[in-house]
Amino acid sequence: MDAIIQLPKIDDMMEREVKNLREAIDILHVKQKEYADVIRTYLSSQSTDQSEISRITGELDDSMTELEESRGKLVNLKMQKEVASGMHNLTSGAVNGTYHLKNQQKGQ
């Protein structure tokens, strides 16, 4: 007889436990959706970041190439200036050659 009296109590306890488990499952389901959204956003952001890094790397490579070309041009112009300056010294010495030769002869 005690067992018959206990059955409704056991049924009530089981119903409460089932209700609690359903609530826990619902909460876990919501959390899983939230985490999935966060992961999707992260992956999308990471993909965008990688694209931006690739774009900036390309721009940097282009800038480095331009810089190297400019450096080469600058070296070339500097060499031309030095050659022109040396030629100027030679031509000015040739114009003043008689003076230069006289000074050399005096020194001997």
Q: What is the pTM of this model?
A: 0.48
The span from the CA of 68 to the CA of 48, in Å, is 30
The secondary structure element, H or E, covering residue 39 is: helix 2-95
The predicted-structure confidence for 5-21, as pLDDT tens digits, reads as follows 788 889 999 999 999 99
pLDDT above 60 for 108: no
Amino acid identity of residue 102, one-letter, is: K
The span from the CA of 90 to the CA of 50, in Å, is 59
The span from the CA of 30 to the CA of 44, in Å, is 21
Angle value at C-alpha 78, between 75 and 79, nearest 5 degrees: 85
The predicted-structure confidence for 52-68, as pLDDT tens digits, reads as follows 999 999 999 999 999 99
- 20 within 8 A of 14, measured Cβ to Cβ: no
Confidence (pLDDT) at 7: 86
Confidence (pLDDT) at 99: 46
pLDDT above 80 for 31: yes
Tally of domains within the chain: 1
Domain housing 22 = 2-107
Query: Chain-wide mean pLDDT for the chain?
Result: 85
The span from the CA of 26 to the CA of 43, in Å, is 26
